[in-house]
Amino acid sequence: MSAIVAYIRDTLLGIGRKVGRCFKSIVDWLRLAYSPCPYWRGNIVSVNADGRPPFQGHLKMVVSQVFQPASWNVMKVAVMRPSGPPIRAVLKMFDRRFSPRVRHRTPEQGSDEWSPEFEEEFVDFVRRGAADEWVEYRQNEAFDPNEKRNRLEEEADRHLECEAAAKNHLARYRDTRDAKGPNPKVYAIVSIPLHDDSSHGMLSATGILMEYVPEHS
């Protein structure tokens, strides 16, 4: 009798796991279909690359895998070329809009999801010079790091944090003195304009395009 009960239990558990996997696949598909985030498998990402040929100028790449969990947007990509096969690489983006590191804080701080509507407010904040004023104020001796910020000032802080992280990661990849394994080769520093008029640094996202090394995935 106990064997029959165990068989029924295992069968139901197996069905439950299959249903769970199916539900997760549906949720992932819906997130891909309706999310404004471009960093999903199958999407094409366009960047401006500052590296040596062929990692130079305007590049398009197809996202083949997203590495999760991660503090930043890290993905394996196929870099398209005018001739020849695509080049397999890793793209790490420090994008204030979607990077978990800057959008999802402690449980007390909560999550502040990005939206296209909020982005329009932030663009106006940047274009009228308020973002530059905020950055200048942050450098003032009278600035209190604990003072309350509004959402637009917090978004400017996110951009600064992303830029600092990009510089730190780049320095780490290029410094092989303390590397415990093979460091991925940096192909290019890339940027993604977030708006048609993205002359201001806060209206673009920085990333690192590097060699795909399985040990670092």
Q: Which sequence spans correspond to the domains of the chain?
A: 35-217
Q: Is the pLDDT of residue 174 over 90?
A: no
Q: Is 124 helix (H, G, I), strand (E, B) or coil?
A: helix
Residue 118 near residue 154 (C-beta atoms within 8 A): no
Cβ neighbours around 205 below 10 Å, total: 24
- Nearest-angstrom CA–CA distance, 134 and 149: 10
If pLDDT is split at 50, 70 and 90, which confidence band does 146 have?
A: confident
User: Is 77 exposed, middle or buried (CB count within 10 Å of its CB: 0-12, 13-18, 19+)?
Assistant: buried
Rounded to an integer, the average pLDDT of 70-78 is 96
Which of 191, 198, 110, 197 has its CA nearest to residue 154? 110
Residue type, 183: N
Mean pLDDT across the chain: 85
> Which pTM does this prediction carry?
0.80
Structure confidence at residue 25 (pLDDT): 47
